[in-house]
Amino acid sequence: MGINIVKVPSSSIQIRDRNTNNRGHTRKLNPTQKDLPLPPGPEYLLRWQKTFLPMLYAWAGSTNDPFCTNGVMSDEVWAIWKQTYPEVILDEDEEDLVLKVVRPLF
């Protein structure tokens, strides 16, 4: 029993992009809190972390089944958003983005 080591020329090695599947299609990355439609400045992201998320977690924890809140959370997300960011008005695409950032958390 032995191991044979075969030298492969470096020109034949292909490096695949992590974000590309076997068929060559780029997969869509999940948006993160850095993608939120917030004005520039650290105070908005800090408000997200210190106010918005704890309020959303508290709401989810108060439901009968906190692990199944994704389907019913959008109304609560917007109520908390309006409380946390009254000065930030979102269009429809930005609202979808916020929900995509929030839902992977649950």
Average confidence score pLDDT of the chain: 82
What is the rounded average pLDDT of the residues 68-95? Answer: 91
Q: Give the pLDDT band of residue 49 (cuts 50, 70, 90).
A: very high
Task: Look at residue 68 in the predicted model and tell me its pLDDT.
Answer: 80
4-31: pLDDT as tens digits = 777 766 565 555 555 555 555 666 678 8
User: What's the confidence (pLDDT) of residue 70?
Assistant: 77
pLDDT (0 to 100) of residue 27: 63
pLDDT of residue 97: 93
The set of long-range contacts for 96-105, using a CB threshold of 8 Å and a minimum separation of 24, is 97/31, 97/35, 97/36, 97/37, 98/36, 98/37, 99/74, 100/30, 100/31, 101/31, 101/32, 101/33, 101/35, 101/36, 102/56, 102/73, 102/77, 103/70, 103/73, 104/30, 105/53, 105/56
